[in-house]
Amino acid sequence: GDSVTQMEGPVTLSEEAFLTINCTYTATGYPSLFWYVQYPGEGLQLLLKATKADDKGSNKGFEATYRKETTSFHLEKGSVQVSDSAVYFCALRIFSGGYNKLIFGAGTRLAVHP
Amino acid sequence: NAGVTQTPKFQVLKTGQSMTLQCAQDMNHNSMYWYRQDPGMGLRLIYYSASEGTTDKGEVPNGYNVSRLNKREFSLRLESAAPSQTSVYFCASSEDSYSPLTNEKLFFGSGTQLSVL
């Protein structure tokens, strides 16, 4: 079935370090791909998305490229800040059974230290 | 701009007790969802309502019931709580879940942390 696999956390980095959080997916058809972020005590917020192969989503310095050949959507940021500390969820959306189905990965916790 | 509002934020129940989680959105969205979040498992869909007057089971519906009271409100009820239902519950909404071309963005509430002893 459709699924999303993320690298396990926590990921601990120093401020200004380079970030990669891996995400791979399994899906029938052509899903849209998303990264959501959950800051402490809050609900999830959409960070970025890509709707077709080779699209690059970007927001707040984060980027992810939809790679159909490797079924991946890895999240990257060149220089993380303490304020980026959060849980990051990779997700895919596929239209199945008459509605848009959103499937989430398990989440990766990022902790950035000064 | 409240967005999606959930109540309560925290709740402790004893096994067998019942309770209702409330959710309301003020964005005139057609579709609403209830998810549960468990460590290492991401978010799993419990129930969803694609439009006012309709509800459907998601991935993990057992032990829950829902009511789409009107376009704004979507409640989740636990009739007889079990320790396995200890989790964080999130309500979400989106413009329209029927069309494959619709805006795909989900808006989430801040969650309800539920413990069942």
Q: Work out the number of other CB atoms within 10 angstroms of the CB of residue A110.
A: 20
What value does the mean pLDDT of chain B take? 90
Tokens of A103: 């499937």
Res. B2 pLDDT band, cuts 50 70 90:
confident
**Helix then strand then coil, % of chain A, to nearest 5:** 5, 55, 40
CA–CA separation, A88 and A70 (whole Å): 20
Res. B43 pLDDT band, cuts 50 70 90:
confident
pLDDT tens profile B58-87: 889 999 999 998 999 999 999 999 999 999
CA–CA separation, B30 and B50 (whole Å): 6
CB contact under 8 A, A44 and B100: no
pLDDT tens profile A42-62: 888 999 999 999 999 999 999
Closest in B31, B42, B56 to A104, CB measured: B42
CB contact under 8 A, B106 and A41: no
State yes or no: pLDDT of B94 exceeds 70.
yes
CB contact under 8 A, A99 and B50: yes
Tokens of B84: 């396995």
Give the pairing type, strands B10-13 and B112-116. Answer: parallel
Residue of B104, B105, B112, B113 best to disrupt the A interface, most CBs of A under 10 A: B104
Give the three-state DSSP class for A87.
strand
Q: What pLDDT, on a 0 to 100 scale, did the predictor assign at position B98?
A: 60
pLDDT tens profile A86-107: 999 999 988 777 677 788 999 9
Chain A's closest residue to B94, CA to CA, is A100
Res. B1 pLDDT band, cuts 50 70 90:
low
Res. A40 pLDDT band, cuts 50 70 90:
confident
What value does the mean pLDDT of chain A take? 92
CA–CA separation, B34 and B64 (whole Å): 10
Res. B100 pLDDT band, cuts 50 70 90:
low
Residues of B in contact with A99 (CB under 8 A): 31, 48, 50, 56, 97-98
Residues of A in contact with B105 (CB under 8 A): 46, 49
Closest in B41, B104, B108 to A100, CB measured: B104
CB contact under 8 A, B42 and A100: no
Q: What pLDDT, on a 0 to 100 scale, did the predictor assign at position B74?
A: 97
Average pLDDT over residues A11-34: 94
% of chain A with per-residue pLDDT over 90:
75
State yes or no: pLDDT of A21 exceeds 60.
yes
Q: A17 near A33, Cβ under 8 Å?
A: no
State yes or no: pLDDT of B97 exceeds 80.
no
Chain A's closest residue to B88, CA to CA, is A43
What is the DSSP code string of A56-76? EEEETTEEEE-BTTTTB--EE
CA–CA separation, B60 and B103 (whole Å): 25
CA separation, residue B73 to residues A3, B77, B92 (Å): 29, 13, 11
Closest in B94, B99, B110 to A43, CB measured: B110
Query: Long-range contacts for A68-74 (Cβ within 8 Å, ≥24 apart)?
Result: A70/A24, A71/A24, A71/A25, A71/A26, A71/A27, A72/A22, A72/A23, A72/A24, A72/A25, A73/A23, A73/A24, A73/A25, A73/A33, A73/A35, A74/A20, A74/A21, A74/A22, A74/A23
CB contact under 8 A, B45 and A102: yes
Q: Which residues of A17-43 are buried (b: 16+ CB within 10 A; e: fewer)?
A: eebebebbbebeeebbbbbbbbeeeeb
Q: What pLDDT, on a 0 to 100 scale, did the predictor assign at position B34?
A: 95
